[in-house]
Structure 1
Amino acid sequence: MSALRANETAVLVGSVPYWYKVKLPSGLTGYVSKRWATVVTTSASTGQLLRIGSWNIRKLGHGTKDFAKVAQAIDQNFDVLVVVEVMQKQRAHNGYDSLINELGSSWKGLITDSLRPNTISSNSEFYAILYRSSIVRPCAGWSKLIYHQDNDGGDNGVGDDVFSREPAFGCLEAPTSHFKIGFDFLIAAFHATFKSKAAIKAESGHLNEVFSTMAAARPGEKDLIIAGDFNLVPNTLSTVTEMDVTTVGRVQPSIRLESSQGTCMTTS
């Protein structure tokens, strides 16, 4: 006998009235009540779970990292991963390059082509989104991450500087065949400022504007995700953004924000 306990997951393999048919890690199949289970995201024809998350890999590119262990954790737990705190050295992203190399040919990534703030400060960062290339790929015409319009924080920056590191987003899709898309979505990376609590809240209050930018970049797209490090606990984030927050998990909760413009998720 096996059981699916609270906060555990299994692969969805089918559906009947009132019940989901699932496959447990042991290989056994069984049924869980639809009343007590939630389908997170699936590629329609395969029933394969698409695991989307984010990770602040502290100071990636500065100091030393056990890249083998980091890559193993990513490969075992995610299919799409937003990475923040991708640090620069002479405007290069050596830590990101080392991580991609360690992940191997089954993983690919998108990374911003400039820093935020756009300076040579040791604290300037890139954003990156990693994806398992066997089940996920960039949408047609989306070969890079696009920054939300904001002052880039550099010497030639123009306009109001609302975000210390404005979000950058891309488009990904999980095809069920060469000709059919099971799930496509826009996903943005965001690392909030850590200057002060007031500054953090001020930035978060502008996230709806980021959703609007994302929606305009791909008209008709309803699946909009912002993931990263918000530097706020869920209740405060909910109040500031005026969005509902559902926290799932124990040690590492997930934050899900829903608005009329899309969905914002992060794993802290």
Structure 2
Amino acid sequence: MTALAVSVHGLKKAYKQHTVLNGVNFEVKRGSVFALLGSNGAGKTTIIKILTTLIQANEGKAEVCGIDVAHSPEQVREKISLTGQNIAVDEILTGRENLDLVAKLRHLPDRKAITAASLKQFDLEEAGDKPLATYSGGMKRRLDLAMTMLGSPELVFLDEPSVGLDPEARLALWDTIKKMAASGITIFLTTQYLEEAEALADQIAILHEGQIIVQGTLDELKAILPAKQIEYVEKQPSLEEIFLAVTGKKGE
């Protein structure tokens, strides 16, 4: 088994005359939380779509769980799960019925037990038999993640999962993601919330103008900026300051 969950080399993607990705390179270790940062339109979702076999790159090579995404897309899909920006739940069904439907589609055995365990894991037991119309946005997102986790995927892609959530729901989501990562699942996260990457990620990469311009741990990224002058209190650079500095957007 390869030590890498994702390996991307020379990835390029263009839509007609518009180049989105222009030679993207990065790697994601198994069992880690990897955060991909970038402004709107930077190409984060395009990378997710390529890695999850929804679209194909024009050039370059991408492997997920050691499998070439272009040559063996069906094998890749057996290893992964995806939670997109839009919450993918059926508003007419209850939480339990949503989970049961996904379990059935994945041909999982003992669906009743699996569904009950999932509701408990994601703190949705009391709401399990209530229609989705009664759920808050945070509860719907937790159910979405619960559905994503059915079938024990090796790698979970979370494409801006906290968009639209209030601060309390966002913190609850972070706690859920931490628990997912602690179970050994690799998490590939895209986000515009820089504090989200600070709170969750083992490795952070910044995508800008079609390329990865920097990648490393938070401490490694902090080292990019000049040391802060110590007066009374030493203030470490925030991820937001690092992002603005490396993308050249500081002061705009």
TM-score, normalised relative to structure 1: 0.33
Highest RCO, 1 vs 2 (Cα 8 Å, sep ≥ 6)? 2
Decide which structure has greater strand share: 1
TM-score normalised over the length of structure 2? 0.34
